[in-house]
Amino acid sequence: MTTGLLNVVDVEATCWEGETPPGAVSEIIEIGLTVVDLDARTRIAKHRILVRPERATVSEFCTELTGLTQAEVDTGIPFADACRLLATEHQAALRPWASWGDYDRKQFITQCESTNTPYPFNSHHTNAKMLFSEAYNLRRRQGMSGALGIAGLPLEGRHHSGADDAWNIGALVLEIVNRNVWRPTTTD
């Protein structure tokens, strides 16, 4: 049975068209977080954390995709501070959490390991993309935008904005919950 609050997380990271520049690494530059009340079956809060990259810059391609500029992310907080904020303000270690696919979870693991930053989340993670495919009996997993179309839901805000994508994924989570398919998928 699904009860309580769930954090839905979507990250945007530095990216490039084609090859990664020498010495650069993909770093989180925005963390979108939507809190979903599974009991009330509603989205109750939307948050955005800008993160200042330390080993990469925002490319023109990344700005076109996410809308984020280097000047904007320069006003963000360091990654370690963002992880502490997730733990303290958003109870990331206590609440179950979800993302669309496994990219966000793996990006956090990789970046936490490479920066010696404590991982802010617990192991109660749900790959909402996988469960959506199960809920709708789809052979092929859908991107978030395609899934919204299948579910008959509007795309709210800008696609590839972490905060807006987390909000939209929250709506998809509620569709999965309503179809009684919701469960944690990661237990490591």
With beta carbons less than 8 A apart as the criterion, state whether 184 and 125 touch: yes
Q: Where are the domains of the chain?
A: 5-178
> What pLDDT score was predicted for residue 188?
55
Q: Which residues contact 89 (CB under 8 A, 6 or more apart)?
A: none
Q: In the CATH scheme, what is the code of domain 5-178?
A: 3.30.420.10
DSSP string, 134-169: HHTT-SSPPPHHHHHHHHT----S-TT-HHHHHHHH
Q: Which residues contact 8 (CB under 8 A, 6 or more apart)?
A: 33, 34, 35, 36, 97, 98, 99, 128, 166, 169, 170, 173
* Global confidence as pTM: 0.95
Q: How many CB atoms lie within 10 A of CB 56?
A: 21
> Minimal CA–CA distance to 107: which of 187, 14, 179, 181?
14
> Minimal CA–CA distance to 4: which of 31, 32, 44, 51?
44
> What pLDDT score was predicted for residue 39?
94
Sequential pLDDT tens for the chain (188 residues): 456 999 999 999 999 999 999 989 999 999 999 999 999 999 999 999 999 999 999 999 999 999 999 999 999 999 999 999 999 999 999 999 999 999 999 999 999 999 999 999 999 999 999 999 999 999 999 999 999 999 999 999 999 999 999 999 999 999 999 999 998 887 65
Q: How many CB atoms lie within 10 A of CB 64?
A: 10
> What pLDDT score was predicted for residue 103?
97
